[in-house]
Amino acid sequence: MGFSVSFEFDFQGIFSILKKYNVPLRAKDRNENHPLIFGGGPVLTGNPEPFADFFDIIIIGEGEEVLNEIMNAYKEVRDLSKKEQLIHLSKIEGVYIPSFYDIEYNSDDTIKSIKQNTKDAPKKINKRHIKNLNKSLYTPILTEKSVFPGMFLIEIARGCPKKCRFCMASYLTLPARYPVDESVIKIINKGLEYSSKIGLLGALITEHPDFEKICDYILELKKEKEFKISVSSLRIDTITPLIVKTLVECGQKQATIAVEAGSERLRKVIGKKLTEEDIFRGVKIARENGLTGLKVYGMIGLPSETQEDIEELANLMKKLKKENKGFNLTLSVSSFVPKAQTPFQQEERPDEKIINTRSNYLRKELNKNKVLFKPTSVKWDYIQAIISRGDRRLSYVLEKVHELGGTIGSWTKAYKEISEEHTLPNFDWYANRKRDFSELLPWELIDTGVSKETLHKEALRAYSPILDVNYHPD
């Protein structure tokens, strides 16, 4: 049985499925008669450790090619014991067998060591990635029971070359890759045989070198048949009149853009190369070419953020509203969640009170100017932060949370019950604490191709404009 984990809270659904089929949650509790349980996806590639005790096998990186290798290797040992099967499969690059490693902790709760307990288990698990996206453009699964009901999904970009310092999606999928436009066009036609709704996916689809050529084709095709095209988000400084016209012609009325921060200073800190001029020009293009509104995405609690940065975010939205009368603008904000395998993986997350104070300020200021404000739940962001930099000790909490129903309140109750049986740091220790560079991080067993040292240097670069750190990258 296999599961892809795209979001930290996906464990709830996985546990429900395992329980439905009477499969024990923990790998150590499953016997020879139970199926091997394997997982993959961005969350498990970034930091598999909070979930490690539940999987026999975890695929690190992109699974299109390694899945075939696993199936072929499994056929060779299917009649052997589960332990022998796992030993054989562990020889495949990108395959992580959590049970082959023991974790030892220091008295201050940090990790002391990560050691192999099985002969020939690799010291590091190398991330897998595919070079040719033309073979992996779309999902063959088309269902109404999904986040995108009945939509034929096509991946036209994988990764993002911009490398914002908080973004796991960018750093986990380096280098950014794009299928050739002929392949995309071919799959669009294939998709329209099965659905009248096409979704173009990618962290930054407008970076596709031939995206406007694809738009031209879509507009020509639209003259012959009726269908809709949807995209998840747009990079505001890369949109053009043609791109907007294509979306509007294909039924999209609004789009999402990410500015992340209101001040140019803070955008430089986080690596978001976006000027205020870029933002105003992009919004104008969106409005003048038929979109009825934009959802603007931002974050609260970013490293080095001050109240002045929050005020600049409010002012930015006010000015956008003033210059684009009749155009629907919504500011949607989440709070900063430090992610593994990014330059900001060791950064501090602000206290909940600070985040709430800044969120309330934005709400008050924007309400006065009739800008819709939609913050995410700070409490759920906090729980996400617990998991995102967590270790194997959290597995007991995840199990108990699921047992208690998975609500916000179940997390506090679960911690209280579990901490009576197991030694476990408090939640703030996981979610908010700044990590020293010397600290051994739970996910250091994983080699994504970007070293801890490189990420640390990139984090130092973030502060050079404000702290005058004289740093020059290699």
- Counting Cβ atoms within 10 Å, is residue 356 exposed (0-12), middle (13-18) or buried (19+)? middle
Kindly provide the b/e burial profile for residues 224-244, where b requires at least 16 CB atoms within 10 angstroms of the residue's own CB.
Answer: eeebbbbbebbbbeebeebbb
Q: What is the pLDDT of residues 186-216, one digit of tens each?
A: 999 999 999 999 999 998 999 999 999 999 9
Same domain, 52 and 100: yes
Same domain, 43 and 135: no
Inside any domain, residue 254: no
**For the residues 417-441, what does the mean pLDDT come to?**
95
Do residues 78 and 147 share a domain? no
Do 41 and 65 share a structural domain? yes
- Are both 73 and 170 inside the same structural domain? no
CA distance 132 to 4: 21
Of the three residues 232, 250, 283, the one that is the final residue of a domain is: 232
Domain match, 104 and 49 both: yes
CA distance 473 to 133: 30
Which tokens is 174 given? 């380096």
CA dihedral 308, 260, 174, 152 (to 10 degrees): 170
Q: Percent of the chain beyond pLDDT 90? A: 90
Indicate left, alpha or beta for 260 from its phi (over 0: left) and psi (-120 to 50: alpha).
left
Residues 43 and 10 in one domain: yes
Domain assignment present for residue 21? The answer is: yes
Q: Pick the last residue of a domain from 232, 254, 271.
A: 232
Contact 264, 273 (CB under 8 A): no
In a domain, 138, yes or no: yes
- State the pairing for strand pair 328-335/372-375: parallel
> What are the residues facing 296 on neighbouring strands?
257, 331
Residue 468 pLDDT > 60: no
Helices (H), 21-147: 42-46, 64-77, 82-89
* pLDDT tens readout for residues 236-258: 999 999 999 999 999 999 999 99
Q: 144 near 152, Cβ under 8 Å?
A: no
Q: Tell me which residue range forms the domain holding 209.
A: 131-232
Give domain status of residue 304, yes or no: no
Q: What are the beta bridge partners of residue 58? A: 39, 96
pLDDT tens track for 105-116? 999 999 999 999
Say if residue 315's pLDDT is above 60: yes
Torsion (CA) 205, 208, 212, 215 in degrees, nearest 10: -50
Burial degree of 2 (CB within 10 A; 0-12, 13-18, 19+): middle
**Residue 12 belongs to some domain of the structure:** yes
Closest CA to 240 of 204, 205, 206: 206
Reply yes or no on whether the pLDDT at 473 is more than 50: no
Q: Is the peptide bond before 209 cis (omega within 30 degrees of 0)?
A: no
Tell me the mean pLDDT in the region 359-380: 95
29 and 66: one domain? Answer: yes
- Tens-digit pLDDT profile for residues 144-163: 888 889 999 999 999 999 99
pLDDT value of position 145: 85
Tokens read off for 349: 């997350």
Mean pLDDT computed over 267-294 = 96
Judgement on whether residues 104 and 207 belong to the same structural domain of the protein: no
Residue 47 pLDDT exceeds 70: yes
CATH of the domain at 226: 3.30.750.210
Do 164 and 149 fall into the same domain? Answer: yes
* 360 in any annotated domain: no
Helices and strands: H and E segment counts in the chain: 17, 15
Q: In degrees rounded to 5, what are phi and psi of residue 80?
A: -90, 175
State whether 161 and 65 are in the same domain: no
- Asked, for residue 170, whether it belongs to a domain, the answer is yes
Share of the chain above pLDDT 70, in %: 98
What are the φ/ψ torsions at residue 28 (nearest 5 degrees)?
A: -70, -20
Using alpha carbons, select from 375, 378, 351 the residue that is nearest to residue 363: 375
- Separation between Cα atoms, residue 423 and residue 393, nearest integer Å: 8
Q: How many domains does the chain fold into? A: 2
d(CA 206, CA 210): 9
Check pLDDT > 60 for residue 362. Answer: yes
pLDDT at 318: 97
Reply yes or no on whether the pLDDT at 94 is more than 50.
yes
| Rounded CA separation 425/386 (Å) | 11
Residue 474 has pLDDT above 60, yes or no: no
Computed over every residue of the chain, the mean pLDDT equals: 94
Task: Please state the pTM of the whole predicted model.
Answer: 0.93
Q: Is the per-residue pLDDT at 465 higher than 70?
A: no
Q: Residues 118, 136: one domain?
A: no
Last residue of a domain, one of 197, 232, 267: 232
Give bridge partners of residue 329 from the DSSP assignment.
Answer: 294
pLDDT at 466: 52
Calpha distance 261→164 (Å, rounded): 12
Q: Evaluate whether residue 189 is within a structural domain.
A: yes
